[in-house]
Amino acid sequence: MLIWLLADSDMGKFAAFKNLLNSFSAHYPDVKVDFRVLTRRSMWRSLFAHLRDSKNRESADLIELPQSWTAVFAKLGLLAETGAVVESFNPARYPDFLKKGCVMEENDTVFSAPWWMEAPALFYRPETLKKHGLSPEAGFRDWGHFLEACERLAAGNRKRGFYPVLNGAGRMSAAHALPCVWNRGGDLFSEDRHRCTLNKDEVVRGLEDYLEPALRGWLPLFGEAVFEGGPFYEDRTAMVLGTRTPSFPGRKSPFKPARLPGARKKEQILGYNLAAASGSTNLKEAGLFLKWALSADNCRSFSEDFGVFPCLKQVLEETLADADGGEVWREIFAAPAMPPNTTVYPTAELLLDKALWHASLRIARQAYAREDFLRELIIAHGEIDYLLSLY
């Protein structure tokens, strides 16, 4: 049996998966399991390559997907019904906000099972903020106050290599930019999801808010992910924009979580699901692994091992009750918003990722021009609207 996993900025995910796999293999020694790691883009391309030429382009038996990919690949016939693979699968064991990420748009048939999730947040070092006369209550009230905090931290620290804020994943992304768009009252689609809104002023301003720390030189681009940098990053920054508490094995993290600055009414939650391939010849084995991975004990231990959140309702409640900074996480999960699980959304996200990547390159080369960014957004807007007219 072959499992495809999504690449991650934290190698701890793969150590956690190997632990899960080893325990599975100890209980099912006759089931031979291999796994491969693919980037989000290579996973996308590999799935479509298999769709075009299933005889010569392989697919995995089990696939880890962003929950927002379920609808499109289920509609294309690449995913098996989860209930047919795991008879005991019960959607009622999951929070309501996760259920739409398991089905197609038109019906309630489940094609993927929630596995783990994370939420963008701002992590800060309390003693560093205090040293510069800052507090999370005042400094993180909105994006403007956050930028002022960055400016004060930059002016007050001349240490070589110091930045007020780091990007936890080492890159800019659409998923992390959307809370800034929501702060401005915008969104990627209209309320009925029939039109793209990338051309709206509030959307553009929100994306520019997201880029602002990098434009001002307060956030480095194309650096190592925080989790690859070891303990040295702790002296290089006061804050981290990310989804997991920055830490180093064997040491207590000096960072505390806070909501991303802004007065939005919802919080971004990013979910990752497991789905069985409809063309798999190992669906029995895939069902065994799914049942194993989705059990309460394994769901808890896997998510704990790399600092993310479990999807099972009961285990999530226990985790939020015991988590460091639990009050912040409970506030975030009290207003959850998942990326739309629609046919068009995954492509829209990839196009916005591309525009942000090009903007990052121009910023790094000190060649950024607002007109270039707007031009890319207009092109992406046109492509997304065309897809919406088809689907």
- Per-residue pLDDT band for 231 (boundaries 50, 70, 90) equals very low
> Which has the minimum average pLDDT: 30-39, 116-125, 154-163?
154-163
Domain boundaries, the chain: 2-117+270-331, 121-267+344-390
Q: Where are the beta strands (DSSP E) in 70-146?
A: 113-118, 121-124
| Residue reference for tokens 């681009």 | 221
What's residue 338's pLDDT?
97
What is the per-residue pLDDT across 182-228, written as a single tens digit (0 to 9) for each? 999 999 999 998 999 999 999 999 999 999 999 999 999 987 666 55
In tens, the pLDDT along 43-62 reads 999 999 999 998 888 899 99
Asked whether residue 232 carries a pLDDT value surpassing 70, the answer given is no
**Number of continuous H segments (helices) and E segments (strands) in the chain:** 16, 12
How many angstroms from the chain centroid is the CA of residue 109? 24
- Give residue 226's pLDDT: 60
Question: Per-residue pLDDT tens for 65-118?
Answer: 999 999 999 999 999 999 999 988 999 999 999 999 999 988 899 999 999 999
- Residue 131, Ramachandran bin (φ over 0: left; ψ between -120 and 50: alpha; else beta): alpha
**Where residue 330 falls among pLDDT bands split at 50, 70, 90?**
very high
Compute CA distances 309 → 114, 209, 235, 367, whole Å.
11, 28, 27, 39
What is the average per-residue pLDDT within 150-155? Answer: 95
* pLDDT greater than 70 at residue 250: no
Q: What CATH superfamily classification does 2-117+270-331 receive?
A: Periplasmic binding protein-like II (3.40.190.10)
> Mean pLDDT score of the chain, rounded to an integer?
93
Sheet of strand 62-66, all strands in order from the earlier edge strand to the far edge? 34-38, 2-6, 62-66, 270-276, 113-118, 309-310
**Which residues, 6 or more positions from 176, have their beta carbon under 8 angstroms from its beta carbon?**
120, 169, 210, 241, 268
Tell me the average pLDDT across 365-370.
Answer: 96
Contact 48, 251 (CB under 8 A): no
Provide the strand spans (E) within the chain. Answer: 2-6, 34-38, 62-66, 113-118, 121-124, 163-167, 237-242, 256-258, 267-268, 270-276, 309-310, 336-337
- Rounded to two decimals, the pTM is 0.94
How far is it, in rounded angstroms, from Cα 20 to Cα 54? 30
Query: What's the CA gap between 31 and 223, in Å, rounded?
Result: 40
pLDDT winner (highest mean) among 134-138, 197-201, 250-254: 197-201
Q: Tell me the CATH number of domain 121-267+344-390, given options 3.60.40.10, 3.30.930.10, 1.10.10.10, 3.40.190.10.
A: 3.40.190.10
